[in-house]
Amino acid sequence: MAGNRKVFKNAMQVAANAAWEGRWGEAIEAYERALEASPGDVDALTGLGMAYASTGKPEEALEAYQKASEVTPDDPVLLERVGNTLENLGRGKEAAEAYLASGRHYASQEKASHLAVARWEDAVRAYPESVEAHASLLKHYQREGRIQAAVDECLTLAGIYRDRDRLDYAIRLCQHALQLSPRDSEALAMLDQLRYGGASTREDKGTEAAASEAPEETSEGVKLPDAETLEFERSAEEEEVGEQKGSPVETTRRRALTDLAESVFEEEAADTRSARLTKEAVDALISKAIDFQTRGKIEEAIGAYQSVLEAGAGRPAVHFNLGLLYQEKLRFDDALHQFEQAVSHPDYKLGSHFALGECYRARGRIDEALQHFIEVLKIVDLATVEREHADDLISLYEHLADGYLVKGDQDQALQFSNSLVTFLNEQGWEDKVRLARQRLDSLTQEGPVVTLAEALTVPDSERILESIAMSQEYLKRGMYYTAMEECHLALKSAYSYLPIHRQLAEVSREMGRVDAAVKKLVVIADTYQVRGAARQAAAMYQQALSMAPMDTGVRTKLIDLLIKHGEIERALRQYLILADSFHHLAEMDRAQEIYQEALRLVPRVEQEEAWRVRILHQIGDIAMQRVDWKGAISVYETIRDVAPDDERARLTLMELYYRLGRPRQAIEELDALVATYRGEGREERVFTVLEDVVEKWPDVIALRARLAQAYLDGGQTEEALEQLDRLGDQQLEAGRMEQAKATIRAIIALQPPNVAEYKRLLEDLERE
């Protein structure tokens, strides 16, 4: 068994490497060897399916996926792959069944409801007549307050049942649609047709054939719709909204109409008291304008709003609505002027920026349009991003427009603008933004934040982000090869989308392939540099260094990037780490070169003195380790001149001077340090320093004399007597009789208990 396990692991490693490099034939052979050693292994079967799919062999891929799904029937991702493969083979109904099975598993998971929705949408695409898929989507849209989408699903289901001659269910669905949206024209028309226009409109099926396909309660795994199954609770918020939100412009338009309607019933505001008409007259004009606008009488509405402005009663809602009307009449210059009056108001900021972008785009002024569209996306993105990432996100958006303009790529700018407009005009774009942000944040927990703008530049971005999320889920389960291959599938559609590569790096790290992960992160960082995204590039280099802190090449890249963009203090910190890395590698010359390079940057930082001292200490340490006493003295003398109160420099100089036989200079350094501390009132530090140097050099008379004097000056008699006694002995041993006599006299003056002995000793010395 142990041998089989080893064969399996080796084969899986070979397969992963081959898949990583796109050598699918070799990957297939390796996966098959792995399955010979461990039949039924889910990772191997899944990998084999991915490899077959990548080589255009869907039948073989389907067989592998189905075998894997039989082993783990509760894995929704495998069921999705079965569905996708069946769909590619043109087996739509079977594909829908697989998608629905996947969706049911996701729906049972608290945090995976969005994935269930995606599978229901897949099922509808593969087999448009899937009742269960449409019913599930209807329930979801209604729960989320997406009224128009729910109505559309009602009508689609009604059409399916109509074609199957189940008119009672079709009518009930139309009635439910009208409960959601009482004035929906399509629902009204279909209900009339069902009641008065006959049964099926299909010409290719007779009544018997249609009836034979009518679903029973168990035929498609769902109950037939009735009032109980179709009536779902609507939250208080959904009742208040009343209809599905649209684009930012549409949402803001409704807000403007509401604000204007409410203003009619408000008391006269301070900012309208200077109006040239009475409030009653202004209210009448506003009521007219609203009525004309809602009835589609554009010219009349424009005239009424203009009269409001001429009366001096301008307000953001008036400017915004008038701008929309001008825009509809293609009077873009007039529209721009009105939107610019409204854009500074918080409630109208998002819609006005969007409308300004549309007007500038219509005029062919792509640069101005791009700036407003990016502002729209920034507002939307900031509303969902975590607070700690807000500053980074703002900075990225500030440079985003500049990046397009500097490159002068009008086609790319236009493509981005079109993608944004399309995205924000879709129903449910707010939900998609939240979902996209959740996925992006989960990807960037240990790296730089990614903008929503970056995702919008990718074709089929929702599917790509979902693939990344699936890869993350596989990684949590320890299914490394499957996680990696999910990324490879995404890369086929969006090879240049860097978050996919970041996920691949994470997979490599979890697999223990740190070198591969670091290389991938460095390539990502280099790409960010080329794109002008310096902050993201720096963050990716940092992430690579967290995996390989001793990689001097990566750290050098980071330093160069930081210097280029003026982040000198961060560069200096990286210089110190880089030099320390060479230090650990015993490459002292290279470490010293790095410190010297760092010193040349010091004049560019605010805390120049502190940085200079810090770096010089490192250089001094290298000199000390090399026993280069003279070189070390030169360094520490420089530190002393820059920072006279630097204790470490003074004491190191003392040591060096003693080693080179220059005691006078050693004492001068000590005296200067003590004088500095005394001038600052730090007496305790004076005692500590003197005690330390006496302990280090106990035989140096001058040092003990200074410690004894410090105790005397501080009134510490017992400590002074102890040091004076030892000082006297040292002076006698050294033959310094006069100094010894002076010390003994100082002891006698303190009147110790054995003062008589010191007096006799002094007399003996005097006689000698």
User: Which residue reads 């890369």 in tokens?
Assistant: 491
HSE-CB for 346 with a 13 A CA cutoff: 0
Tokens 């005692």 locate to 687
Q: What is the pLDDT of residues 181-201, one digit of tens each?
A: 766 778 877 887 887 664 433
- In sequence order, what DSSP letters do the residues of 559-584 get, joined into one string? HHHHHHTT-HHHHHHHHHHHHHHHHH
Classify the C-alpha dihedral 87-89-90-93 as positive or negative: negative
Domain layout of the chain by residue ranges: 2-210, 702-768
Looking at this protein, which amino acid is placed at residue 113? S
Tell me what pLDDT residue 97 has. 92
Return the pLDDT at 43. 86
Q: Which two tokens stand for residue 421?
A: 């407009």
Asked if residues 243 and 181 have their Cβ atoms less than 8 Å apart, the reply is yes
Alpha-carbon 531 to chain mean position: 18
Q: Give the pLDDT of residue 198.
A: 45
The two tokens of residue 688 are 């500590």
Tokens found for residue 338: 């009105």
Q: Which two tokens stand for residue 158?
A: 């009604």
* Residues contacting 448, CB < 8 A, separation 6+: 392, 535, 536, 539, 540
Amino acid (1-letter code) at residue 757? E
Q: Record the pTM.
A: 0.56
pLDDT score recorded for residue 219: 34
User: Per-residue pLDDT tens for 70-83?
Assistant: 888 888 888 888 99
Give the C-alpha separation, 372 to 375, whole Å.
Answer: 5
Cα(481)–Cα(570) distance, rounded to whole angstroms? 37
The one-letter code for the residue type at 328 is E
- The pLDDT assigned to 273 comes to 47
Q: How far is CA 263 from CA 284, 286, 505, in A?
A: 11, 9, 57
pLDDT of res. 243 = 39
For residues 24 and 14, give the distance between their C-alpha atoms in angstroms, rounded to a whole number: 11
- 558-566 LR contacts (CB < 8 Å, sep 24+): 561/529, 561/534, 561/537, 562/538, 563/601, 564/534, 565/534
- Are the CB atoms for 358 and 421 separated by under 8 Å? yes
- Residue 457, Cα to own-chain centre: how many angstroms? 17
For tokens 């009008």, name the residue.
410
Q: In whole angstroms, give the CA distance from residue 99 to residue 571.
A: 52
Looking at residue 218, its pLDDT comes to 35
Sequence length of the chain is: 768
pLDDT (0 to 100) of residue 409: 58
Question: Which residues of the chain are modeled with pLDDT < 50?
Answer: 1-2, 198-244, 270-271, 273-274, 405-406
pLDDT of residue 523: 92
Sign of CA dihedral 236, 237, 240, 246: negative
Dist CA 264 CA 764 (whole Å):
115
Whether residue 46 contacts residue 482, with contact meaning beta carbons closer than 8 Å, is answered with yes
Cβ pair 558, 541 in contact under 8 A:
yes
* 2-210 under CATH 3.30.565.10, yes or no: no
- Please report, to the nearest 10 degrees, the dihedral formed by the alpha carbons of residues 413, 414, 416, 421 taken in order: 140
What b/e sequence results for 162-194 when a residue is b if at least 16 CB atoms lie within 10 Å of its CB, and e otherwise? bbbbbbebbbbbbebbbebbeebeebeebbeeb
